Amino acid sequence: MKKSRLTKLIAVILSLTIAFASFGAVTAGASSIYPIFSSEDPVGVVLSDMIETLLNFVLKLFSGLFDNGPGFVDQDEAEAKAELNFYDGTAEKTSDNKYKFQTSAKTDAKWNLGYSNTSLIPNDYSNGTYYIGGYIAIENGFSNVVEGIAEIPGIGKDDMKARCIAINDGTDNGTVLFATIDCIGITNADIKDIRAIVAAYAEENSIDDIVAINVSSTHTHSCIDTEGLWTKLLYKLAHNGIISGTGEDEELVQGTNPAYMAFLKEKVADALIDAYNDLQPGVLTYTEKDIGQDYFNNKNRPSSGNMVYEINEDGEAVYNGKKEIAMTDISRFIFTPDDATKTPTMMLNIAAHPDVAGLPTESNSGREISGDYLFYCGKFLEDAGYNFMFFQGAIAGIYMSRSVTGDGVPTEQRVEESQRYGFELARMALALTMTEEEIEADDMLNCAEEIAEYGDNEYYSIWYENWNKDEEGNDVIPEEEIVEPFLNLLIAQVEVPISNHLIEAVGKLNMANYVVITKEDGTYATITEIGYMEMGNQFKTVFLPGEICQDLIAPGGASLNPANSVTASPFQSKPACDIFGNDVKCFGLMNDAIGYVVPDNDFTMGDPVNHYHELISLGRNVASALMDGLIELNESIERV
């Protein structure tokens, strides 16, 4: 039986209202933070709780207007779908359900790596059917139609890429594939389609050593929408809201462009296959360096961040009440092929939103395709003779800071700021083990051309002043280690609850491609993937979906402490550093895009300016579900 016309009208009105409210809040929150409530203010906490209760009530009513979407299935079907095209990694499973991790390289082990990249811009990008994924707000008329490709005079056109590597340690542990896509995010359901294409190729060509296919996103805010939330949003919400809210017999339109997603999946799969076919032996080296707070902009919740300690008179470390960004280092791998005629590959891992190129200026709409700072970082490194691969980190509310890389230089379009940040990041990556004097003597690194054009301002000198020197001015060079040739990787599936009724409604209206479990008690959940990888004894990292709060990775996370959290209660699970050690890294947005991941105890929807992250999160208990999954995964590892 069809619902009443009144319900139909309500569905449309609420669709539009929620669209304006949620995405307007997200855009505003991503631009600036003005404190409203303090966790130290009891009145503010109570008011925040009241707002959250009211908002949850309204959103639950809103979600209840709609039938379950096409991706909503029961528990058994969800688990069956999750097993399709799932790879658990290199670890051999023992009879007692443990997974073997190596602690040293096997005899005759040898790193092998293959590389490929491909453009994901379709030939008809200007036909008006493609949309930029990343920003949608009143100031751009809620229209993200692609208007072209970003271009900087003297540098050329930008691109939207997929960068891929295949890697193994030369043993029977198998080959692991990675793809990093320049996009806002890509869901596990879409990733499984990419895996299916690669698996079909492997079967046709009798390839049986691929043990993992990992696909992540750079979270670039200026590439074609791959999630479905930045398209003809208002039209599609209203259209699907009418169909779902009235029970009309018509299919819901997809949020993403189906033809484009098919194109993207084929291109990424082909690039992964090309990387596999490019495998060649060589040497892998690793180094890292903390580049400090200046290159990162912290827009996390005021309660989060790395707690800063000072040593008191008694030699004790005492928290001084200040917080800073926790993960400000660059991790760098260089793979050097044995064949000197082949191109080496540089792989970087940092944590910073590529969100600048899509911002408008008076002379530019920002609606042009751009890989943001990563495209320009890659371009610089390619000019220096390297293939470029990138892994995004735990970004949550961590953005690239343009204050250092923009001072004194005129900007006609925001992509120019992305270019300067990307070039500088590339210079730092190349110079990680160099002295300041060596940098000055290198024509690619010393900024002489820019200084000649713009003058010797702060931007063009600050990055290598006192580079790799201690407080006394002595050289302190980061060590570049040869990575022992053994690769350990274990990937697991974990079920996470969906308690955000706004996201629940987005799923019902078919805007994003998720498999949602419909529970018997009327609640919802989804199955996502987590992982843990070691490369030799030099590097270890967790794989996590979504935009991860750094407090969940690094030691000293303030928001896990009851005194700093919005609920004044402790986090009930453990951060990754307590599971795998303080030196663990993070590959974020890996194998799924589930929005922001905020510690349960610091989660509120009652303060949408300070806590705008929660609006685009699956809900309150996602963080503990993921961390509990990592604890269980770690307990299943047996080191041999």
- Residues 114-125: pLDDT tens digits? 999 999 999 999
Looking at residue 471, the DSSP 8-state letter turns out to be T
Determine the residue type at 342.
K
CA dihedral 428, 431, 437, 439 (to 10 degrees): -70
pLDDT confidence of 458, banded at 50, 70, 90? low
Q: In degrees rounded to 5, what are phi and psi of residue 252?
A: -75, 140
Q: In degrees rounded to 5, what are phi and psi of residue 27?
A: -65, -45
Average pLDDT over residues 97-119: 96
- Alpha-carbon distance of 310 to 20, in angstroms, equals 45
Give the number of residues written for the chain: 640
Question: Distance of alpha carbon 487 from its chain centroid, rounded?
Answer: 23
- Token readout for 420 is 């300067």
CA distances (Å), 444 to each of 79, 423, 475, in order? 52, 10, 21
**Residue with token string 């806002």:** 184
- Token readout for 634 is 């770690």
Average pLDDT over residues 316-328: 89
Residue 140 scores a pLDDT above 70:
no
Partnered with residue 400 across adjacent β-strands are 296
- Alpha-carbon distance of 616 to 395, in angstroms, equals 14
Q: Is 187 helix (H, G, I), strand (E, B) or coil?
A: coil
CA distances (Å), 298 to each of 24, 163, 358, 599, in order? 20, 27, 19, 17
Per-residue pLDDT at 354 = 96
Residue 98 scores a pLDDT above 70:
yes
Looking at residue 568, the DSSP 8-state letter turns out to be S
Residue 12 scores a pLDDT above 80:
no
**Residue with token string 């505003």:** 28
- Alpha-carbon distance of 575 to 629, in angstroms, equals 11
Long-range pairs of 402-410 with CB within 8 A, sequence gap ≥ 24 = 402/297, 402/356, 403/294, 403/297, 404/294, 404/295, 404/458, 404/459, 404/462, 404/463, 405/295, 405/459, 406/459, 407/457, 407/458, 407/459, 408/454, 408/455, 408/457, 408/458, 408/459, 409/454, 409/457, 409/459
Residue 284 scores a pLDDT above 90:
yes
CB 185 within 8 A of CB 228: no
- Alpha-carbon distance of 560 to 305, in angstroms, equals 10
Per-residue pLDDT at 138 = 62
pLDDT confidence of 313, banded at 50, 70, 90? confident
- Token readout for 443 is 């024509």
Per-residue pLDDT at 452 = 83
Looking at residue 138, the DSSP 8-state letter turns out to be G
Mark 11-27 as b/e (b = at least 16 C-beta within 10 Å): bbebbbebbbebbbbbb
Average pLDDT over residues 268-276: 98
> Tens digit of pLDDT for each residue in 148-191?
999 998 899 999 999 999 999 999 999 999 999 999 999 999 99
Residue 25 scores a pLDDT above 70:
no
Give Cβ neighbours of residue 207 (< 8 Å, ≥ 6 apart): 201, 276
| CB-based burial label for 6 (10 Å; 0-12, 13-18, 19+) | exposed
pTM of the model: 0.93
Per-residue pLDDT at 461 = 72
Residue-by-residue DSSP string for 352-396 = -B--STTS-BTTB-S-EE--HHHHHHHHHHHHTT-EEEEEE---T
> Tens digit of pLDDT for each residue in 204-224?
999 999 999 999 999 999 999
> Tens digit of pLDDT for each residue in 583-622?
999 999 999 999 999 999 999 988 888 888 998 899 999 9
> Tens digit of pLDDT for each residue in 513-535?
999 999 999 999 999 999 999 99
Looking at residue 614, the DSSP 8-state letter turns out to be G
CA distances (Å), 257 to each of 110, 186, 237, 270, 381, in order? 42, 13, 15, 20, 33
- Alpha-carbon distance of 59 to 15, in angstroms, equals 11
| CB-based burial label for 184 (10 Å; 0-12, 13-18, 19+) | buried
Q: Is 583 helix (H, G, I), strand (E, B) or coil?
A: coil
Closest CA to 330 of 289, 377, 293, 285: 289
Instruction: Select the more confidently predicted residue: 482 or 313.
Output: 482
H/E stretch holding 626 = helix 622-635
- Alpha-carbon distance of 422 to 376, in angstroms, equals 5
- Token readout for 591 is 């194998």
Per-residue pLDDT at 31 = 34
Per-residue pLDDT at 41 = 59
pLDDT confidence of 465, banded at 50, 70, 90? confident
Q: At what angle do helices 501-508 and 5-31 cross, to 10 degrees?
A: 120
Q: Is 629 helix (H, G, I), strand (E, B) or coil?
A: helix
pLDDT confidence of 3, banded at 50, 70, 90? very low
- Alpha-carbon distance of 613 to 607, in angstroms, equals 10
Averaged confidence pLDDT in the chain: 89
- Alpha-carbon distance of 268 to 205, in angstroms, equals 18
> How many Cα atoms sit within 13 Å of 446 on the Cβ side?
11
> Tens digit of pLDDT for each residue in 404-418?
666 667 778 889 999
pLDDT confidence of 376, banded at 50, 70, 90? very high
